[in-house]
Amino acid sequence: MDQADIYILAGMALFAIALHALAARRHLVRKVLAINILGGGCFLVLIAVARRAPGPVADPVPHAMVLTGIVVAVSVTAVALILVRRIRSATGRTDFPEDNRDDRV
Amino acid sequence: MVDTSWAAIAVAVPLLAALASLWPGRWTAVAVMAVAVPGALLATLGVVWTVYEIGVYRHPVGGWGAPLGIDLYVDGLAAAFLALLAVVAGLASLHVLADPDVKAMPRRRQSLFWSLWYWVWGALAAMFVSGDAFNIYVTLELATLAGVILVSFGHGAVALFASLRYLLIGTLGALSYVLGVALLYGATGTLDLVLLGERLVPGPAVVVAAALVTVGLAIKAALVPLHIWLPPAHGSAPAGVSAILSALVVKAGFYLLVRYWLGPFVSLGDGVATALGILGAVGVLWGSLNAIRQERLKLLVAYSTVAQVGYLFLLFPLAAAGGHVMAWSGAHLLVLSHATAKAAAFLAAGNILTSQGTDHLSEIGRASHHHRLSLLAFGLAGATLMGLPPSGGFLAKWLMVTAAVETGQWWWAAVLIIGGKLAAIYVYRVVRLGFVTSPMEPPGAAGPPRPPGLLPVPMLTILAALGLAVVSVGLGFASAPPLRLLQIGMPAAPGIALEPLP
Amino acid sequence: MTALLATGGWLPVSVVLSSFLTGIFIFFLREEDVLMRSLLNLGGAVLKVALGILLLWGVAQGFVYTFVLPLGAGLDLILFADPLALQFVLLSAGLWLVTTVYAIAFLEGSPERSRFFGYFSLCVTASTGIALAGNLLTFVIFYEFLTLATYPLVVHHGTREALKAGRTYLIYTLGGGMLLFIGAVWLQGLIGPVVFGPVPALAETDLPRGVLIAIFWLIAGGLAVKAAMVPVHGWLPTAMVAPAPVSALLHAVAVVKAGAFGLFRLVYDVYGIALAGAPAMGGLLAMLASVTIVYGSLRAIAESDIKKRLAYSTVSQLSYIALGTALGGPLAAVGALAHLVHQGLMKITLFFCAGRLAETYDIHNVHELAGMGRRMPVTMTAFTVAALGMIGLPPVAGFVSKWYLALGGLQTGNDWVLAVLVLSSVLNAAYFLPPLYVAWFTAPPPEARLQRRILPGWVEWGLLVPPVITASLALVAGLLAALPISPLAWAELIVALRYFPVTGDGP
């Protein structure tokens, strides 16, 4: 097991932890944070994959992917935070209602 | 017409429209639409024509070529989805243009709405012609993000909750997908789907990667049990948005699963195909039973999407067992007819909701004469949902059941047939309302033009719904050209020689 | 003229489209456009009859009409005009024209007429499509289309009762459609496209017998629902809540005949009589038909509501067609096909008269008919002609079909058929003679209790002329059965094509 493999496993562990948080945490901001950590796990795996390329330099393609991914993650976070704020101001809630099935919220 | 750059134009037109729409004003919306919709249709026509003429092709954008530039990959399937996109989004655009709810928004919000609308369109177009695993991620996320914001334009806090839920679960799907892609890249050193298929050596890392990719895409396709985000989001978004989300964005997840599981992943075994089929079957039953229980029209239609998407997943076990050509033709014809029918159903539901202020089934019957054209559109669309003629849905089911019979897998046929009967129940619950003698409209020769308390419905919104419904019915007769298109570049099933169709 | 005849496949297509386009246009008319709607309706109906006759003439001259629309993936939509198809086309087109006249008068002043006539035209389109269907897939498409197009007519009144009847109707017909669909796809999955014609699709089959029987009963079960055979007849009496023209054309002719017509195609064109004559298929079907014949008659006696009694009579009479088809001899087949036309003419007359009685004197019950022979002599004469025909009295057409059915039973060695026919005729007499007696030979109730509704003159005529025409036709079809243009002669031609394909001589 080389260094890159450790990073890959670490990245997947992060992904798993964040997945748990996304499901278990009720506060909406914590869910948004979980999504960010989820992304962090993915990017760690990508960077590690880049390092495993044969030759002296790292593979640039995964790096480009991580850069793109970060831009997407930032946009997602921004939209999510705006929605959380609007939910807070509209309903005073910071979590999902238990019953989301009908329109009585 | 043979020119490989039509594909790039089909992507560029909606993206440019997204930028142009940011200039606020009603006339901007009209002008942009007057250019973008015919433009996208024309470009799509060019793509279809080119595929007919030269078959599967690649187009290097800007002449750069892979791996530095981006290659567009176009086959019959991609062209068919592009055509579906142009027709559904084009007609739904007409609906949005006349939708009183959209018109009532402040000017700046309207222009934002239109910009996001074209973003979804452009992202989907790019996804359909993308042959690169990472580009697919970007387009998937763009479509989701724009879709999420569009959902939040719906009424009340329900829409906000629904859109945040959609965003969180959708992003989880996208990240799961990208993690899988990262592992695939580590294993093969390529992102190109065709090369991926050539270089893929089954192993533990590849299996994990395939699982991550599949779960991610199944979330987008609302495969049971990953569907929970769909009904609230599609049920609370503005009508036009629900239409394109249900008709197109959900289908995009299925489209990509087909790309992977009848592409590079095909060698990973039939077990997954069966599992996808079983989940699809559960989806058919679960979605239909829930649709039957709904009291609100839009939620009924949304649960119907969960059910109808389930049918599509029967493609995987049917194709794996050798019912390849029939299943492929049937499933994709179902995609085309369901997408048009579902868009029509949502637009019709939206018209009723806008006019009456509620879409509770118990209320709609009170103004059945007023809603008759919307209910007619819903009824026509319902034929496809039930799989009854004359409609594309009927022919699609005929083909899929034939595939099940030919491969001796009668249980998939049972799913298709039972699902159709369950659909008949929920469609009936709505259609019967069109014939109720209503207290608001005393049975005179003509009745009042519009019962009190109801808002007028713009003719354009009704025509958009009817137009889509007619397309879905028409696909039952004009099915030969799309089926021929879908054959172009159809992947071969493992170990089975492709028999050309008569 | 020859150019018109040589249009190939477009002639059957235009026969189908003549009512389809009419229907679509009518949907978009405003309620008040009575004149426009009536003109469109009558124009479409006249055009359809004209095109049907043109088609007939062309076929007689030896032209072949086949329209093929490829649907992709090896499936085709085929419309073709063989003698059997033409018989059903001309029957439904001709009766559509008559019923249109009746319906315009009947619905004068009632709401939602554009919707009504729109769907009415679509129903006729569907039954024409069923008639002209050239393969099993096309048949299934139009058969299911007919189900959907008829529903709005059943629930037309929008009352709780109507909606309930509509629901029953859908449960039965969609269930039947499901059986038909399964059987059709299964068969087509095994042997490829099933094309109709004198040579049965399963003529040289090596499929296992069990599979053949299963498919036969799936398809026959689906068809039996529309043909209202016991035990899946329950929808028909309930559907009588629909307006009289619907009961007359659809529930006496178009819809129910679609099932009976389909059974004939199944037995003769798909399986072939050699195969379908087996006890497990045709034999059992004949038994079922006999049970239906007797059961329907018994129920008709028990009903005192006129429309309900007529409905059970339809249940009974339709199974004559199924019986003649299933017996599997040339004479029985001739009887079945002749009855397809004869029963249509007689039953539509009865429903026309029932509708006129209900409209004019608000009469719905058999006991209320007292003295009607004197008050409405023409209507009651037409009613009497048709009723006597139903019983099987010569010279009305009903006698001819019963005669051939009896001969067919003897020819195929099924002597018990004779007993069924005699019993059925006695029962027919038992439910048709009392109303005739009451109408002609009892005194009318005092004037005060019976208010004649004042209808505009043209409405009176519109309600009166159609039953007179159909009753006369039923009489003429019986009197002139020996002429080469009679329904009987045509039925002989159709059957000859199947039993003696090379020479085309009669049996």
CB atoms within 10 A of CB C373: 21
| CB contact at 8 A, A87 and A93 | yes
3-state class (DSSP) for residue B368: coil
Residues in chain A with CB shorter than 8 Å from the CB of B186 are 8, 45, 48-49, 52
Residues in chain B with CB shorter than 8 Å from the CB of C142 are 389
| Mean pLDDT on B25-37 | 92
Is C482 within the bounds of a domain? yes
Give whole-number Cα distances, C56 to B84, C7, C12, C59, C191, in Å.
43, 13, 10, 5, 32
| Mean pLDDT on A71-82 | 94
* C-alpha closest to that of B144 among B24, B54, B71, B241: B241
Task: Tell me, yes or no, if C433 comes closer than 8 A to chain B by beta carbon.
Answer: no
pLDDT category at A103 given cuts 50, 70, 90 is very low
What pLDDT, on the 0 to 100 scale, is given for residue A3? Answer: 80
- Residue B49 CB partners (closer than 8 Å, separation 6+): B1, B2, B6
Answer whether C111 sits within 8 Å of B394, measured CB to CB.
no
Rounded to whole angstroms, the Cα distance separating C50 from C56 reads 10
**Single-letter amino acid, residue B10:** A
Is C202 within the bounds of a domain? no
What pLDDT, on the 0 to 100 scale, is given for residue C109? Answer: 80
Answer whether A35 sits within 8 Å of B67, measured CB to CB.
no
Residue where the block lists tokens 């009176």: C460
Is C355 within the bounds of a domain? yes
| CB contact at 8 A, C145 and C129 | yes
Q: Which chains contact C through at least 3 pairs of Cβ atoms less than 8 Å apart? A: B
Answer whether C182 sits within 8 Å of B417, measured CB to CB.
yes
Q: Which chains contact A through at least 3 pairs of Cβ atoms less than 8 Å apart? A: B
Dihedral, A20, A21, A23, A28 alpha carbons, nearest 10: -170
What pLDDT, on the 0 to 100 scale, is given for residue C267? Answer: 92
pLDDT category at A4 given cuts 50, 70, 90 is confident
**Single-letter amino acid, residue C336:** A
Residue where the block lists tokens 């003419």: C345
Residues in chain B with CB shorter than 8 Å from the CB of A60 are none
Is A103 within the bounds of a domain? no
Is C132 within the bounds of a domain? no
Asked if chain C contacts chain B via 3 or more Cβ pairs within 8 Å, the reply is yes
What pLDDT, on the 0 to 100 scale, is given for residue B3? Answer: 76
Is A83 within the bounds of a domain? yes
Give whole-number Cα distances, C270 to C127, C188, C204, in Å.
19, 11, 11
When scoring B368, B380, B388 by the number of chain C Cβ atoms within 10 A, the one with the most, hence best to mutate, is: B388
**Domain CATH for A74:** 1.10.287.3510
pLDDT tens digit sequence for C350-393: 999 999 988 888 888 888 888 888 888 899 999 999 999 999 88
Domain count, chain C: 1
Nearest-by-Cβ selection for A83 from B67, B167, B174? B167
Is C372 within the bounds of a domain? yes
3-state secondary structure C431-473: HHHHHHHHHHHCCCCCHHHCCCCCCCHHHHHHHHHHHHHHHHH
CB atoms within 10 A of CB B91: 23
Q: Is the pLDDT of residue B110 over 80?
A: yes
Residue B59 corresponds to which tokens in the numbers above?
Answer: 């187009």
Is C138 within the bounds of a domain? no
Which residues make beta-bridge pairs with C195? Answer: C135
Domain count, chain A: 1
Task: Tell me, yes or no, if B483 comes closer than 8 A to chain C by beta carbon.
Answer: yes
Residues in chain B with CB shorter than 8 Å from the CB of A70 are none
What pLDDT, on the 0 to 100 scale, is given for residue C507? Answer: 38
| CB contact at 8 A, C166 and C218 | no
What are the domain boundaries of chain B? 294-502
Q: Which chains contact B through at least 3 pairs of Cβ atoms less than 8 Å apart? A: A, C
Range of the domain at A68: 3-91
Direct distance between the N- and C-terminal alpha carbons of chain C, in angstroms, rounded to an integer: 34
Task: Tell me, yes or no, if C214 comes closer than 8 A to chain B by beta carbon.
Answer: no
Query: B187 to chain A: nearest residue by CA?
Result: A49
Rounded to whole angstroms, the Cα distance separating C495 from C443 reads 49
Q: CB contacts < 8 Å between B and C, how many?
A: 109
Residue where the block lists tokens 């919709």: B37
Share of chain C above pLDDT 70, in %: 96
pLDDT tens digit sequence for A21-67: 999 999 999 999 999 999 999 999 999 888 877 777 888 888 888 99
Residues in chain B with CB shorter than 8 Å from the CB of A96 are 161, 164-165
List, as ranges, residues 412-441 from B with C-beta within 8 Å of C: 413, 417, 420-421, 424, 428, 432, 435-437
Query: A101 to chain B: nearest residue by CA?
Result: B232
Q: How far is C91 from chain B (nearest CA, A)?
A: 24
ipTM: 0.93
Is A40 within the bounds of a domain? yes
Q: How far is B485 from chain A (nearest CA, A)?
A: 33
| CB contact at 8 A, B280 and B331 | no
- Residue B106 CB partners (closer than 8 Å, separation 6+): none
What pLDDT, on the 0 to 100 scale, is given for residue B464? Answer: 94
Which residues make beta-bridge pairs with B73? Answer: B58
Answer whether A75 sits within 8 Å of B175, measured CB to CB.
no
When scoring C32, C68, C71, C123 by the number of chain B Cβ atoms within 10 A, the one with the most, hence best to mutate, is: C71
Produce one character per residue of C70-93: b if its CB has 16 or more CB atoms within 10 Å, e if not.
Answer: bbbbbbbbbbbbbbbbbbbbbbbb
Encode chain C (507 residues) as per-residue pLDDT tens digits.
566 666 677 888 999 999 999 988 888 888 888 888 889 999 999 999 999 999 988 888 888 888 999 988 788 999 998 888 999 999 999 999 999 999 998 888 888 888 889 999 999 999 999 999 999 999 999 999 999 999 999 998 888 889 999 999 999 999 999 999 999 999 998 888 899 988 888 888 888 889 999 999 999 999 999 999 988 999 999 988 888 889 888 887 889 999 999 999 999 999 988 888 888 899 999 999 999 999 999 999 998 898 999 999 999 999 999 999 999 888 999 999 999 999 999 999 999 999 998 888 888 888 888 888 888 889 999 999 999 999 988 888 889 999 999 999 998 888 899 999 999 999 999 999 998 998 888 887 776 566 777 788 888 888 889 999 999 999 988 888 888 888 888 888 888 888 876 544 443
Interface of B with A (CB under 8 A): 67, 134, 137-138, 141-142, 145, 148-149, 152, 156-158, 160-165, 167-168, 171-172, 174-175, 178-179, 182-183, 185-186, 189, 191, 231-232, 236, 296, 299
Task: Tell me, yes or no, if B500 comes closer than 8 A to chain C by beta carbon.
Answer: no
Give whole-number Cα distances, C285 to B155, C172, C199, C291, in Å.
59, 19, 22, 10
- Residue C472 CB partners (closer than 8 Å, separation 6+): none
Task: Tell me, yes or no, if A37 comes closer than 8 A to chain B by beta carbon.
Answer: no
Is A24 within the bounds of a domain? yes
Rounded to whole angstroms, the Cα distance separating B127 from B73 reads 10
When scoring C27, C30, C76, C141 by the number of chain B Cβ atoms within 10 A, the one with the most, hence best to mutate, is: C141
Is A19 within the bounds of a domain? yes
The H or E element that residue C66 is part of is strand C66-72
Task: Tell me, yes or no, if C188 comes closer than 8 A to chain B by beta carbon.
Answer: yes
Task: Tell me, yes or no, if B401 comes closer than 8 A to chain C by beta carbon.
Answer: yes
What pLDDT, on the 0 to 100 scale, is given for residue B445? Answer: 42
User: Residue C28 class from Cβ within 10 Å (0-12 exposed, 13-18 middle, 19+ buried)?
Assistant: exposed
3-state class (DSSP) for residue B74: strand
Direct distance between the N- and C-terminal alpha carbons of chain A, in angstroms, rounded to an integer: 52
Residue B179 corresponds to which tokens in the numbers above?
Answer: 């993690």
Q: How far is B19 from chain A (nearest CA, A)?
A: 17
Q: How far is A77 from chain B (nearest CA, A)?
A: 10
Answer whether C163 sits within 8 Å of B502, measured CB to CB.
no
Query: B380 to chain C: nearest residue by CA?
Result: C148
Answer whether B413 sits within 8 Å of C190, measured CB to CB.
no
pLDDT category at B58 given cuts 50, 70, 90 is confident
Q: Is the pLDDT of residue A72 over 60?
A: yes
Answer whether B175 sits within 8 Å of A100, measured CB to CB.
no
Residues in chain B with CB shorter than 8 Å from the CB of C140 are 389
| Mean pLDDT on B330-336 | 95
Give whole-number Cα distances, B466 to B188, B279, B340, in Å.
48, 33, 10
Is A105 within the bounds of a domain? no
Rounded to whole angstroms, the Cα distance separating B24 from B112 reads 8
Answer whether C144 sits within 8 Å of B436, measured CB to CB.
no
Answer whether A83 sits within 8 Å of B158, measured CB to CB.
no
Q: How far is B336 from chain A (nearest CA, A)?
A: 29
Residues in chain B with CB shorter than 8 Å from the CB of A75 are 145
Query: C172 to chain B: nearest residue by CA?
Result: B421
Answer whether B389 sits within 8 Å of C74, measured CB to CB.
no
Query: A45 to chain B: nearest residue by CA?
Result: B182
Residue where the block lists tokens 């592009």: B82
Nearest-by-Cβ selection for B437 from C158, C177, C181? C158
